[in-house]
Amino acid sequence: MSLVLDIFTIVAVSAGAFFFLAGTVGLLRFPDTLTRLHALTKADNLGLGLVVMGLLPQAEWPFDSIKLIAIWLFALLAGATVGQLMARAARREQTTP
Amino acid sequence: MTIPDFLLAAAVFVLATVALGLVRILRGPEDADRMMATQLFGTGGIAALLLLGVATEARAVLDVALTLALLAAFASVAFVRSASSSEGDDPKETNSP
Amino acid sequence: MKNVSVRAAMARGAGFFGFWLVLIGTDPVDGVAGLFAAAAATGASLRLLPPGGGRLRYAVLARLALRFGQESIMGGVDVARRVLSVRLPLRPGFLVYPVRLPPGPACNTFGALTSVLPGTLPAGVDDHGALLYHCLDVEQPVAAQLAIDEGLLIRALGGTHDDT
């Protein structure tokens, strides 16, 4: 049982790390501000989500587990709000140069 | 390789990846692009802290990550607000044209 | 109506205090501070987000959460594929989505939800109140996906699929 959970941790954390890599590469490669924002808010939040999911079997239930999920939800909420605000600002710059 | 070792390696990988994204701060071109790099670094830092905290069973590190998650959002919102208000625009954007 | 708001206040207060216990721990001395914090949070939440009349439908909400997870993974893989591809296949552009939800908390929730989903990014509203979405690939059926999400959200919040 513990082996299965450990494998789950390794797979999920690796996938999360991969999405951090994808987000960074997108931030560096994408052509303009709005497309870069896509790479950031998406790959990045998914990266943190997968890392949190992978850590859940290793964390102490219930306090640490709920705290981990809360951190992810805060980051998600922040990412959603900031992403929209930045997209609006970037759109204005693009349409009214 | 034990699970804590793996988690530590993952933390280093994530941190190195998002640090690479800081190149965007040098390149710009817009301030929004620079802010996005710092935001990515913030999320990556949270992920690295979570990985470290669980790997070393230092539970206080999770609280640090929680605080960081709350503060990272404020920095970006403050940035968008000040960037928009300098153009005489309200980022909240009502339905009026 | 008064009954509803008292019940909502109790439920929210209990929720905030529970969250406090998770964050801080169950030491009784800390709990006193927690009670004050939970009371303050409840007051703020009742003022900023008054309890609405509609009842949440948890079954639909669960379906929405499931779909959200699926779409996040699929969209995340899609964005990652484009990022790592040598040719960088992007057809970025704007899409006007005539949102059915009236402006307000529900509409903001929809914006936040879809902004987290890969491939779509709400970038404000146009002059007619429609949401402007920036897409990485305008040839993808983005509007159809958004309509499904919105329908689920409307039903989860207690509305019917067809009312306007």
Peptide bond into C51 cis (omega under 30): no
Provide the pLDDT for residue B81: 75
Statement: residue C161 has pLDDT above 70 = no
Does C127 sit within 8 Å of B93, measured CB to CB? no
Statement: residue B61 has pLDDT above 80 = yes
- What pTM, to 2 d.p., does this model score? 0.83
Closest chain B residue by Cα to residue C131: B95
Does C84 sit within 8 Å of A25, measured CB to CB? yes
Provide the pLDDT for residue A1: 62
Does C23 sit within 8 Å of B66, measured CB to CB? yes
Calculate mean pLDDT across residues B25-45: 83
DSSP string, chain A: -HHHHHHHHHHHHHHHHHHHHHHHHHHHHSSSHHHHHHHHHHHHHHHHHHHHHHHGGGSPTTHHHHHHHHHHHHHHHHHHHHHHHHHHHHHHHHH--
Range of B47's domain?
Answer: 3-85
Closest chain B residue by Cα to residue C127: B97
User: Is C107 an interface residue toward A (CB < 8 Å)?
Assistant: no
User: Is B34 an interface residue toward A (CB < 8 Å)?
Assistant: no
Calculate mean pLDDT across residues B61-69: 88
Coil/strand/helix, residue C94: strand
Angstrom distance (rounded) from CA C142 to CA C144:
6
Domains: count for chain A: 1
Statement: residue C85 has pLDDT above 90 = no
| Contact (CB, 8 A) for B80 and B58 | no
DSSP assigned state of C26: S
Q: What is the ipTM of this complex?
A: 0.87
User: Is B70 an interface residue toward C (CB < 8 Å)?
Assistant: no
Provide the pLDDT for residue A95: 62
Angstrom distance (rounded) from CA A70 to CA C19:
9
Q: How many Cα atoms sit within 13 Å of A72 on the Cβ side?
A: 23
In a domain, B96, yes or no: no
Higher pLDDT, C91 or B91: C91
Provide the pLDDT for residue B12: 94
Contacts of C125 in chain B (CB under 8 A): 93, 95
DSSP assigned state of C49: S
Percentage, residues of chain B above pLDDT 70: 85
Coil/strand/helix, residue B68: helix
Mean pLDDT of chain C: 80
Matching residue, tokens 């059915």: C100
Provide the pLDDT for residue A14: 93
Provide the pLDDT for residue A96: 54
Statement: residue B95 has pLDDT above 50 = no
Statement: residue C163 has pLDDT above 70 = no
Provide the pLDDT for residue B7: 92
The CA distance from B66 to the nearest CA of chain A, in Å, is 5
Calculate mean pLDDT across residues B68-78: 80
Q: How many Cα atoms sit within 13 Å of B31 on the Cβ side?
A: 10
Provide the pLDDT for residue B14: 92
Long-range CB contacts (within 8 A, 24+) of A55-62? A55/A9, A55/A13, A55/B7, A55/B50, A55/B51, A55/B54, A57/A5, A57/A6, A57/A8, A57/A9, A58/A5, A58/A9, A58/B3, A58/B7, A58/B54, A59/B54, A60/B59, A62/C22
Residues forming a β-bridge with C97: C131
Q: C109-146: per-residue pLDDT in tens?
A: 888 888 877 778 888 777 777 888 888 888 777 888 88
Provide the pLDDT for residue B10: 92
- For the purposes of burial, counting CB atoms within 10 Å of the CB of B66, is it exposed (0-12), middle (13-18) or buried (19 or more)? buried
Calculate mean pLDDT across residues B27-32: 78
Q: Residues near C97 by Cβ (< 8 Å), separated by ≥ 6?
A: C130, C131, C132, C133, C143, C146
Distances (CA, A) of C48 to B3, C43, C51: 44, 9, 10
Domains: count for chain B: 1
Statement: residue C80 has pLDDT above 90 = no
Contacts of B80 in chain A (CB under 8 A): 82, 85-86, 89
Closest chain B residue by Cα to residue C123: B93
Provide the pLDDT for residue A53: 92
In a domain, B95, yes or no: no
| Contact (CB, 8 A) for A86 and B76 | yes
| Token reading at A28 | 């560096």
Which residue positions in chain A have pLDDT lower than 70? 1, 94-97
Provide the pLDDT for residue B48: 93
Range of A57's domain?
Answer: 2-95
